[in-house]
């Protein structure tokens, strides 16, 4: 199938063209917008995961003082290893319901600071690691109905190693790989293999890419590739890693410029949509932003804020001689979150214009997101939020196409006053231009769909649309909801599925799609995905499908 955005450029008016490519429309009005959803959810959303019941699990750390929300049921927690208060009746995790815009406190008992997560194929969130009494914990959260009170279940000594600043990726067989963490040059698998002294597997690449005391390669960027191997980016280097045989199968050139891209020089990274409609599936990644070498020690020792990096590198992983193609963002940014929008464009949101990750290390908040258009390699600067989103902020894509933004706390404690960037408890939503009512006439609306989609199996979607242009402008995409923290959206991926036919239901404006499930579990690991229809650059709201 022809790529919809390109076709669209040829066939439609300037107004629609602008909407499709996410550009502010020059003569009319700003089509994108920010809204504050809730002024306080009681905690700072350092980590976020959207679940398939439309709720978002959020949490920060547990051992740095009293939050602004109480634990459920008047419960309190006595923790002798807490670094701020030993006796704490406040909660550090909440469950946010997107549709009703409400939240409730959750009980997490051990410290979840700077941890990682993935969702199992059955929809249960697995969170791994943290700090202090939580550094070897695995925790599970199984979604439940609105009126039920499901909560965290913790397994405090579950992990083989301490995992603080590790990255996770769901694997084709439904297991989870947990890679690295502070002073951990190894990886492990969840669920833990069934033998007594399991210690994980060595991964020397992480030792080799470490600057100083394990700097600039924490929260390594992981992407599961269509061949089943892992792309791993740490500091300035990247490889294709066969985790099954613990073997590096490919080494890429260093990213040009020599500047580090991982924590605390936190840039971000995405895997471009995997396209089943092409004859040959190509995997391409993009890494954006970060902080120059030395920026972290300069921020820490001299309170000096180095200008962030404004380059992105694109790397096609197939082909015999991969080279980095560099792009320049209109704004430099460190600690930006990169998310795939349903259209296949990339949003880069949150973060700072100078400094690095770490306590009090960031400056010059960048409150304007940018949207990158991969086909014509263009960036658009979008409208401004009033709230700085610095260290410990996060963002996830919602099923309705908005981007949920929360968190920001560059302090060791909850500090609401007398600091430069107060601990931020609010939630905001950013609506990209494609959500403007001016696109509603060509926006598909999913009416019914098969809830279970098998590999290479036919499935149906019924949709309504006021003005259907043509089949060449329509595509079906699935997006895995990410576990976002510290500027990286773990497990995020988009697959554009093969569309076989679109049939009109008589003379109505309803249509039926026959489409094919993803080819393999390497392309789309089993689990719940948001399925979007995108028509002429305008997405529907998503319906959930379970790939199996
Ligand atoms: C804490 O929560 C209360 C309402 O429960 C709110 O009025 C207050 O502004 C919140 N504090 C902060 C710092 O957001
Ligand atoms: C998913 O699987 C995990 C691990 O076996 C289990 O603990 C959890 O309860 C399951 N969740 C659901 C929704 O069945
Ligand atoms: C934050 O608040 C704590 C007390 O709760 C205080 O000790 C600390 O100095 C404050 N941090 C800053 C950066 O002012």
Residue 291 neighbours by CB distance under 10 Å: 33
Domain ranges of the chain: 1-30, 31-435, 439-547
Class of residue 280 by CB neighbours under 10 A (exposed 0-12, middle 13-18, buried 19+): exposed
Binding site membership of 390 for ligand 1 (Cβ less than 6 Å): no
- For ligand 3, atom 12, which residue shows the shortest CA distance? 419
Which atom belonging to ligand 3 lies closest to the Cα atom of 411? 13
- For ligand 1, atom 14, which residue shows the shortest CA distance? 40
- Cα-to-centroid distance, 122 and ligand 2 (Å): 6
- For ligand 1, atom 6, which residue shows the shortest CA distance? 40
| CB proximity list for 326: less than 8 A, separation 6 or greater | 256, 257, 311, 312, 313, 314
Binding site membership of 416 for ligand 1 (Cβ less than 6 Å): yes
- Cα-to-centroid distance, 266 and ligand 3 (Å): 24
Distance CA 136, CA 155 (A): 9
Ligand nearest to the CA of 124: 2
The residue whose CB lies within 8 Å of the most ligand 2 atoms, and thus the one to mutate among 117, 140, 151, is: 140
Under 8 Å between Cβ of 243 and 186: no
Q: What is the pTM of this model?
A: 0.94
CA 120 to chain centre: 16
- For ligand 2, atom 8, which residue shows the shortest CA distance? 124
Ligand nearest to the CA of 175: 2
Backbone angles phi, psi at 19, to 5 degrees: -65, -45
For residue 9, the surrounding DSSP H or E stretch is: helix 4-11
Binding site membership of 425 for ligand 1 (Cβ less than 6 Å): yes
- Cα-to-centroid distance, 42 and ligand 1 (Å): 7
Specify the CATH architecture of the domain 31-435: 7 Propeller (2.130)
Peptide bond into 191 cis (omega under 30): yes
Q: Integer distance in angstroms from the first to the last C-alpha of the chain?
A: 25
- 204-211: long-range contacts, CB 8 A cutoff, minimum separation 24: 205/232, 205/234, 205/237, 205/239, 205/241, 205/248, 206/179, 206/180, 206/234, 208/237, 209/234, 209/235, 209/236, 209/237, 210/185, 210/235, 211/235, 211/260, 211/293
pLDDT of residue 147: 87
- Cα-to-centroid distance, 113 and ligand 2 (Å): 24
Give the strand pairing for 274-275 and 493-504: parallel
Binding site membership of 427 for ligand 1 (Cβ less than 6 Å): no
Under 8 Å between Cβ of 377 and 390: no
CATH number belonging to the domain at 439-547, selected among 2.40.50.140, 3.30.70.2170, 3.40.1530.20, 2.60.40.10: 2.60.40.10
Helix (H, G, I), strand (E, B) or coil at 111: coil
User: Which strands, in side-by-side order, build the sheet including 311-316?
Assistant: 268-271, 284-288, 311-316, 324-328
- Cα-to-centroid distance, 150 and ligand 2 (Å): 13
- Cα-to-centroid distance, 354 and ligand 3 (Å): 22
Q: Over its length of 548 residues, how does the chain's per-residue pLDDT go in tens digits?
A: 333 333 333 333 333 344 444 444 444 567 999 999 999 999 999 999 999 999 999 999 999 999 999 999 999 999 988 889 999 999 999 999 999 999 999 999 999 999 999 999 999 999 999 999 999 999 999 999 988 999 999 999 999 999 999 999 999 999 999 999 999 999 999 999 988 899 999 999 999 999 988 899 999 999 999 999 999 999 999 999 999 999 999 999 999 999 999 999 999 999 999 999 999 999 999 999 999 999 999 999 888 999 999 999 999 998 889 999 999 999 999 999 999 999 999 999 999 999 999 999 999 999 999 999 999 999 999 999 999 999 999 999 999 999 999 999 999 999 999 999 999 999 999 999 999 999 999 999 999 999 999 999 999 999 999 999 899 999 999 999 999 999 999 999 999 999 999 999 999 999 999 999 999 999 999 999 999 999 999 999 999 999 99
pLDDT of residue 196: 81
- For ligand 1, atom 2, which residue shows the shortest CA distance? 68
Binding site membership of 40 for ligand 1 (Cβ less than 6 Å): yes
Q: Do domains 31-435 and 439-547 have the same CATH topology?
A: no
The residue whose CB lies within 8 Å of the most ligand 3 atoms, and thus the one to mutate among 65, 415, 416, 419, is: 415
Show the ligand 3 pocket: residues with CB < 6 angstroms. Answer: 65, 411, 413, 415, 419
Show the ligand 2 pocket: residues with CB < 6 angstroms. Answer: 120, 122-124, 140, 142
pLDDT of residue 29: 64
pLDDT of residue 20: 44
Q: What angle do CA 364, 115, 345 make, to 5 degrees?
A: 55
User: What separation in angstroms does the CA of 7 have from each of 4, 18, 515?
Assistant: 5, 14, 20
The residue whose CB lies within 8 Å of the most ligand 2 atoms, and thus the one to mutate among 53, 55, 118, 120, is: 120
């Amino acid at each position: 199938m022809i790529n919809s955005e390109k076709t669209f450029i040829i066939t439609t008016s300037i107004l629609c063209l602008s909407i499709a490519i996410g550009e502010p429309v020059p003569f009319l009005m700003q089509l994108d917008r920010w809204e504050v959803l809730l002024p306080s959810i009681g905690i700072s959303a350092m980590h976020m995961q959207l679940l398939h019941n439309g709720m978002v699990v959020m949490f920060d750390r547990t051992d740095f003082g009293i939050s602004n929300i109480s634990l459920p049921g008047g419960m309190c927690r006595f923790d002798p290893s807490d670094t701020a208060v030993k006796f704490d009746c406040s909660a550090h995790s909440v469950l946010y319901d997107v549709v009703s815009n409400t939240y409730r406190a959750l009980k997490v008992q051990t410290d979840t600071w700077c941890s990682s997560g993935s969702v199992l194929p059955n929809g249960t969130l697995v969170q791994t690691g943290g700090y202090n009494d939580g550094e070897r914990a695995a925790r599970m959260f199984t979604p439940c109905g609105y009126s039920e009170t499901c909560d965290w279940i913790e397994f405090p000594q579950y992990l083989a190693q301490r995992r603080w600043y590790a990255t996770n990726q769901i694997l084709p067989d439904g297991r989870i790989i947990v890679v690295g963490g502070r002073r951990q040059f190894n990886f492990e698998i969840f669920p833990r293999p069934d033998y007594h002294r399991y210690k994980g597997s060595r991964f020397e690449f992480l030792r080799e890419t470490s600057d100083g005391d394990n700097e600039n390669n924490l929260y390594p960027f992981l992407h599961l590739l269509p061949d089943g191997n892992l792309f791993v980016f740490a500091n300035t280097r990247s490889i294709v890693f066969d985790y099954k045989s613990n073997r590096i199968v490919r080494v890429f050139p260093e990213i040009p410029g020599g500047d580090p891209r991982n924590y605390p020089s936190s840039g971000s990274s995405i895997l471009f949509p995997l396209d089943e409609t092409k004859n040959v599936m190509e995997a391409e990644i993009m890494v954006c932003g970060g902080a120059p070498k030395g920026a972290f020690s300069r921020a820490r020792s001299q309170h000096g804020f180095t200008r962030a990096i404004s380059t992105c590198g694109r790397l096609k992983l197939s082909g015999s001689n991969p080279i980095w193609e560099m792009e320049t963002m209109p704004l430099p940014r460190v600690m930006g979150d990169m998310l795939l929008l349903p259209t296949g464009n990339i949003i880069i949101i949150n973060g700072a214009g100078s400094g690095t990750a770490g306590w009090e290390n960031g400056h010059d908040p960048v409150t304007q997101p940018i949207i990158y258009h991969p086909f014509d390699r263009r960036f658009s600067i979008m409208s401004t939020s009033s709230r700085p989103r610095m260290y410990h902020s996060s963002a996830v894509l919602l099923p309705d196409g908005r981007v949920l933004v929360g968190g920001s706390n560059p302090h060791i404690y909850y500090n609401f006053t007398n600091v430069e960037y107060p601990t931020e408890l609010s939630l905001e939503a950013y609506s990209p231009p494609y959500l403007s009512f001016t696109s509603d006439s060509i926006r598909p609306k999913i009416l019914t769909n098969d809830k279970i989609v098998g590999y290479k199996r036919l499935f149906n979607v019924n949709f309504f649309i006021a003005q259907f242009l043509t089949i060449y402008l329509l595509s079906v995409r699935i997006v895995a909801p990410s576990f976002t923290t510290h500027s990286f959206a773990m497990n995020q991926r988009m697959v554009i599925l093969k569309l076989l036919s679109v049939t009109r239901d008589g003379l109505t404006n309803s249509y039926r799609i026959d489409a094919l499930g993803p080819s393999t579990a390497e392309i789309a690991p089993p689990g719940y995905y948001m399925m979007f229809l995108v028509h002429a650059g305008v997405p529907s709201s998503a319906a959930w499908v379970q790939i199996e």
